[in-house]
Amino acid sequence: MKFKEFAITAYELENTSSRLAMIEILSHLFKKADSQNIQKLIYLLQGRVAPPFEGIEVGVGEKFVEKAIANATGYTISQVEALFRKTGDLGVATEQLLQKKKQMALSAEILSVDDVFDTLLKIAKTSGEGSQNKKIKHLSELLNRADSLEGRYLVRIPLANLQLGVGDPTIMEALSIALKGDDSLREDIEKAYNLSSDLGLVSKNLYEGKNQLGGIKIFNPVRPALAERETSPTAILERHKKTMADLKLDGFRLQIHKKGEKVMLFSRRLENMTDSFPDVIKIIRENVKAEEAIIDSEALAYNETTGEIYPFQYTIQRKRKHGVAEKAEELPLHVFAFDLIYLNGKDLIEEPYMKRRKLLEKIIGGEGITVMESITTSDNEELDKFFKKSIEIGAEGVVCKDPDSPYKAGMRGFNWIKLKRSYKGELADTIDVVIVGYYLGKGARAEFKFGGLLGAVYDEEDDMFKTVARIGSGFTEDMMVKLREMLEKIKAKDKPARVDSFIKPDFWVKPIYVVTVKADEITESPMHTAGWKGDAGYALRFPRMVGGIREDKKPEDVTSVDEIKRMFKLQKHTAVQTSPEA
* pLDDT tens per residue, range 264-286: 999 988 889 998 899 999 999 99
CA distance 120 to 335: 37
pLDDT for the residue numbered 96 = 95
CA distance 511 to 219: 29
pLDDT for the residue numbered 579 = 39
pLDDT in tens, 102-147: 766 655 689 999 999 999 999 999 888 888 899 999 999 999 999 9
pLDDT-derived band at 578, boundaries 50, 70, 90 = very low
Point out the domain boundary residue: 371, 400, 420: 420
pLDDT in tens, 40-83: 999 999 989 999 899 888 878 889 999 999 999 999 999 999 99
- Catalytic hit among 40, 101, 248, 466: 248
Both 267 and 378 in a single domain?
A: yes
Q: Are strands 292-301 and 252-259 parallel, antiparallel or unpaired?
A: antiparallel
Q: What are phi and psi of 199, to 5 degrees?
A: -70, -30
Point out the domain boundary residue: 391, 420, 449: 420
Average pLDDT, the chain: 89
With a CB cutoff of 8 Å and minimum separation 6, the contacts of 205 are: 192, 212, 213, 214
Look at residue 37 and tell me whether its pLDDT is greater than 60.
yes
More confident residue, 3 or 16: 3
CA distance 47 to 42: 9
Both 262 and 398 in a single domain?
A: yes
Look at residue 499 and tell me whether its pLDDT is greater than 60.
yes
- The answer to whether position 455 is within a domain reads yes
Look at residue 574 and tell me whether its pLDDT is greater than 60.
no
Helix (H) or strand (E) holding 476: none
CA distance 12 to 20: 13
pLDDT for the residue numbered 502 = 93
* Residue 40: active-site member: no
Percent of the chain scoring above 90 in pLDDT = 61
Look at residue 424 and tell me whether its pLDDT is greater than 50.
no
Point out the domain boundary residue: 356, 386, 420: 420
SS3 206: helix
pLDDT in tens, 13-22: 988 878 889 9
Both 351 and 479 in a single domain?
A: no
Both 328 and 394 in a single domain?
A: yes
CA distance 103 to 353: 65
CA distance 118 to 12: 24
pLDDT for the residue numbered 211 = 85
pLDDT for the residue numbered 553 = 85
Burial class (CB in 10 A: 0-12, 13-18, 19+), 425: exposed
Are 214 and 205 in contact by the 8 Å Cβ rule? The answer is yes
- The answer to whether position 544 is within a domain reads yes
Read off the pLDDT of each residue in 302-321 and give the average, rounded to a whole number: 74
What amino acid occupies position 116? V
* Max avg pLDDT among 70-74, 210-214, 447-451: 70-74
DSSP letter at 552 equals T
Instruction: Single out the residue of 20, 165, 138, 167 nearest to residue 72, CA to CA.
Output: 138
Both 257 and 398 in a single domain?
A: yes
Total domains, the chain:
2
Are 235 and 229 in contact by the 8 Å Cβ rule? The answer is no
Are 93 and 154 in contact by the 8 Å Cβ rule? The answer is no
Give Dmax (Cα) for the chain. 79
Both 234 and 292 in a single domain?
A: yes
Q: What is the pTM of this model?
A: 0.81
- The answer to whether position 381 is within a domain reads yes
- Domain of 356? 226-420
Both 276 and 354 in a single domain?
A: yes
pLDDT for the residue numbered 436 = 96
Instruction: Single out the residue of 394, 465, 461 nearest to residue 432, CA to CA.
Output: 465
What does the angle CA 40 – CA 458 – CA 535 come to, to the nearest 5 degrees? 135
Look at residue 523 and tell me whether its pLDDT is greater than 80.
yes
- Residue 389 belongs to a domain with what CATH number? 3.30.470.30
- The answer to whether position 435 is within a domain reads yes
- The answer to whether position 205 is within a domain reads no
pLDDT-derived band at 572, boundaries 50, 70, 90 = low
Both 415 and 439 in a single domain?
A: no
Using CA of residue 386, residue 387, residue 391, residue 395, what is the dihedral sign? Answer: positive
CA distance 95 to 89: 10
Look at residue 577 and tell me whether its pLDDT is greater than 80.
no
pLDDT for the residue numbered 444 = 57
Both 380 and 232 in a single domain?
A: yes
- Torsion, CA 314, CA 316, CA 322, CA 328, rounded to 10: 50
- The answer to whether position 218 is within a domain reads no
- Torsion, CA 480, CA 482, CA 485, CA 490, rounded to 10: -100
Burial class (CB in 10 A: 0-12, 13-18, 19+), 76: exposed
More confident residue, 486 or 448: 486
pLDDT for the residue numbered 102 = 72
What does the angle CA 485 – CA 490 – CA 492 come to, to the nearest 5 degrees? 125
pLDDT for the residue numbered 230 = 87
Instruction: Single out the residue of 141, 165, 173 nearest to residue 154, CA to CA.
Output: 141
pLDDT for the residue numbered 317 = 78
Both 374 and 487 in a single domain?
A: no
Both 360 and 411 in a single domain?
A: yes
- The answer to whether position 41 is within a domain reads no
DSSP state letters, 346-396: EE-TTS-HHHHHHHHHHHB-BTTEEEPPEEEE--HHHHHHHHHHHHHTT--
- The answer to whether position 443 is within a domain reads yes
Are 198 and 39 in contact by the 8 Å Cβ rule? The answer is no
- Residue 441 belongs to a domain with what CATH number? 2.40.50.140
What amino acid occupies position 388? K
Both 336 and 383 in a single domain?
A: yes
